[in-house]
Structure 1
């Protein structure tokens, strides 16, 4: 009895000691964390830190980054500009040259660079399942690395990583963001509820009632979390009417939300002649090789259009122009090439990967039409670029192109909207068969419409939006 009592007493003492040690360790970690935050808050640098882990994606988001950096440099020359990037070969000089060569943006001076080494935690390949929540939580860890290395007075997210905003506020930063599209939207939840199979809703889930209900629950919880973290921003800039509607519904800070259309190179493209070479008409597609861009639909539509082409009509060409972010994009590009061979149109299709800006302008100058097929494209910079260059757009009948871009100008049609393969094919044929005088009139109207989305308009609206935050933060 005495031995059992002593043994029980020892176990209680041991467990108590372990609990005490655990509480002490947790308390020490919390204290260490708090002291580190306090130190970083006190040592904030008078600078704007741009959180943009991929500075080589080549898309519209990267253009916004460099234009935003330039706007800050012009508006507040005394503020430093720092770019957080996971591209280890990036340097102030290389990023400055990239901004000019790829996007035609001439920065006033090179930005500082803070290299991030934990970018794998925001890559979609890291999370085969529950990708959204995985990438979102991973972005918090990545921003912790960024803010510990350099704590700015202003934290500016240009990549849509809203889950980093509460952490940036804990570090004492004024949080600003440019949101291209919501991480989750009511449309996404509706598609799961309707059991529609798309790039963000696997066919296996779409076929199962039980799995669909589980995903609806997951999306609902995630949308609540997304709404909370997004509301932590001091200033939100959105790129379109569609994005603004969703962000207002989710974040509920409409008084701190401004619509600022993204910078499109309308001035540089508007000098191109509207007349096109009399040889085979060219249709161009400019977009990153990502799944949501639906390149396969364009290829299918082009094949259908060729099948319906009149014998006396010139045979058109289709040019895919885009960038690859990673191995998955490269595989997607190769699959597209293979599909062109299967459809027996590989001789009529050309692929251009990671082209320089001057080469993109040259390609746009020779196109009679530009095609874009992403469903719920938040804005559509490439659609505006088509219009500015004189290429008649064929865009998806949803979101940004439908609500903001491909609208009548002075009562004249500026392009075509489509949804299905057949509708895209019909639009292609209409443009090819269009008399030259009619095509020139539509192209001129489209070019005038594109002027509403110029870089000059972006700089004007962007500076007006950030001015109150910069003035308040400097006090």
Structure 2
């Protein structure tokens, strides 16, 4: 009897230990993270006060009647204060107000929500890249400034070579977005190298994700925001924020899931068209890659469930995030969402639809000014698959019958290049490929083109091209449509799900996957009779009105105000 009692008691103790030990360990780790967070807040408090005071001073000065336009850039020594002490401002922004959009920002302040004067931290280490993700960032900043004029928008960036004045000038030139400079603060990271893919030749996804924790810690030691938003896709940073600062609301704007079920499926693809890992699941190395990706997908999902507000840039992205992050799989609607991990809100990226419509005519008269020019606007990076466009264009030129006196089709590739990065090598290889394909005389590369140059090409081109497999959304495709170009896009991702779709009154473009299909689509688009070309261009323009800057701003603020309310 005594033995039986001892056995039962031992089993009870063992069961209690197994049940309670994980909870005790979790509570212990949670306490340690919160203690570290408290120390970070304490050590950065004076720096926070200094940044706020500086922003308030510049804001008041910019609004004062005596403020002179075009005043000289003020002394920037304040941003070089030694960061070793608790009050050091190692990475605050420069204080130029040359690109101030104050007149655009002013509005009546009524409710307490309008008077919110906290700090929204935007985690975007590559904010000077000049791509679609950066357009989203800066449009989000502009919308936030208009909604909460007293709020400070702090951008965590690793672009040390650009001060605030130059950054905002480029934002205006590239995206035609004017910002109120005093309430924009740039915080310069010193650890951005830890999220660069070239730093991890193996296990890149895991390496970058863990590296983002280092960069996020760097960001928090600069300034702890009242609201923290990741606009680049580093979900692990949001989890770290929650562990360190449980009271800081977090938001994610997801452009592209770090891993997706489509990526896992591409391992078994034998066609070679599903991305750079197409068919890589063969053999023991393929089996290891599959297991690694499956493990990472589970880890990514666990991290994503820590986010308070989730926004996705397309129906395709939202479907994958819901599958990976959602604890509740009962939500099946891909077009709407309440902003949770189980039901992400679809917030289409902002596109300059209104400006393009007012600048570029689409009618029978303007059709006569269009040239047989194919335009591809995309960052010069491997995933954009420029080689497929070059090979397809070469095949198209080779197969077509040239009519005497007819102008020869041209291909123009426009994109940003991150300097001192693999992008420069990539574009060099693209130029070599154009030479090998004997289309160099028919191909033009424009790097880091201004918005004026982009607008000019959108007005004169006839066809807009996008060749990325599973493009998460495709801002450039919407720009093509708004400018009246006939789209030829990859039959996947956002272009297939949301953009190049038949809205009931006819096709708005062409979709393709292979080199042969792209070449045939180029031929079909250029060979359309003039009345059909004009009709398709006008249908595409009507379709583009779903993706305006105003629509983005409205949906962005619907979600961010939840974070602002939580921070109060």
Kindly tell me the number of residue pairs found equivalent between the two proteins.
444
Q: Match for residue 300 of structure 1? A: 391
1:96-125 superposed Cα distances (whole Å, 9 cap, x missing partner) = 222211111111334111100111111111
The whole-number CA distance in structure 1 between the counterparts of 2:398 and 2:32 is 69
The whole-number CA distance in structure 2 between the counterparts of 1:410 and 1:179 is 29
The whole-number CA distance in structure 1 between the counterparts of 2:433 and 2:316 is 32
The runs of 5 or more residues in structure 1 that have no matched partner are 1-28
Aligned match of 1:317 in 401, 405, 410? Answer: 410
Query: What's the offset of the Cα at 1:195?
Result: 6.2
The whole-number CA distance in structure 2 between the counterparts of 1:261 and 1:314 is 37
Aligned match of 2:143 in 49, 57, 71? Answer: 71
Aligned match of 1:419 in 513, 517, 520? Answer: 513
Output aligned runs, 1:15-164, within 5 Å: 35-41=35-41, 43=45, 46-110=118-182, 111-164=184-237
Output aligned runs, 1:322-471, within 5 Å: 322-326=415-419, 327-471=421-565
What is the TM-score normalised by the length of structure 2?
Answer: 0.75
Q: Match for residue 3 of structure 2? A: none
Secondary structure of 2:134 counterpart: helix
Q: Match for residue 299 of structure 2? A: 225
Aligned match of 2:257 in 182, 185, 190? Answer: 182
Query: What's the offset of the Cα at 1:426?
Result: 0.9
1:250-305 superposed Cα distances (whole Å, 9 cap, x missing partner) = 01066512110000111111120222455751110000111111111111111111
1:62-86 superposed Cα distances (whole Å, 9 cap, x missing partner) = 0000011111111222221101000
Aligned match of 1:258 in 331, 345, 352? Answer: 345
The runs of 5 or more residues in structure 2 that have no matched partner are 1-28, 50-117, 328-336
> Runs of 4+ in structure 1 displaced over 6 angstroms?
29-33
Compared CA separation, residues 220 and 277, structure 1 to 2 (3 A) = same
Aligned match of 1:201 in 277, 286, 291? Answer: 277
Query: What's the offset of the Cα at 1:248?
Result: 0.2
Q: Match for residue 18 of structure 1? A: none
**C-alpha contact 1:199 1:291 (8 A) present in aligned 2:** no
- Structure with higher helix content: 1
Secondary structure of 1:152 counterpart: coil
Aligned match of 1:168 in 235, 241, 245? Answer: 241
Of stretches 456-465 and 407-416 in structure 1, the one that deviates more from structure 2 is 407-416
The whole-number CA distance in structure 1 between the counterparts of 2:162 and 2:489 is 34
1:384-407 superposed Cα distances (whole Å, 9 cap, x missing partner) = 000101111100111111110011
Query: What's the offset of the Cα at 1:199?
Result: 4.8
The whole-number CA distance in structure 1 between the counterparts of 2:301 and 2:271 is 24
Query: What's the offset of the Cα at 1:324?
Result: 1.3
Q: Match for residue 91 of structure 2? A: none
Query: What's the offset of the Cα at 1:93?
Result: 2.1
Output aligned runs, 1:5-16, within 5 Å: none
**RMSD of the alignment, in Å?**
2.1
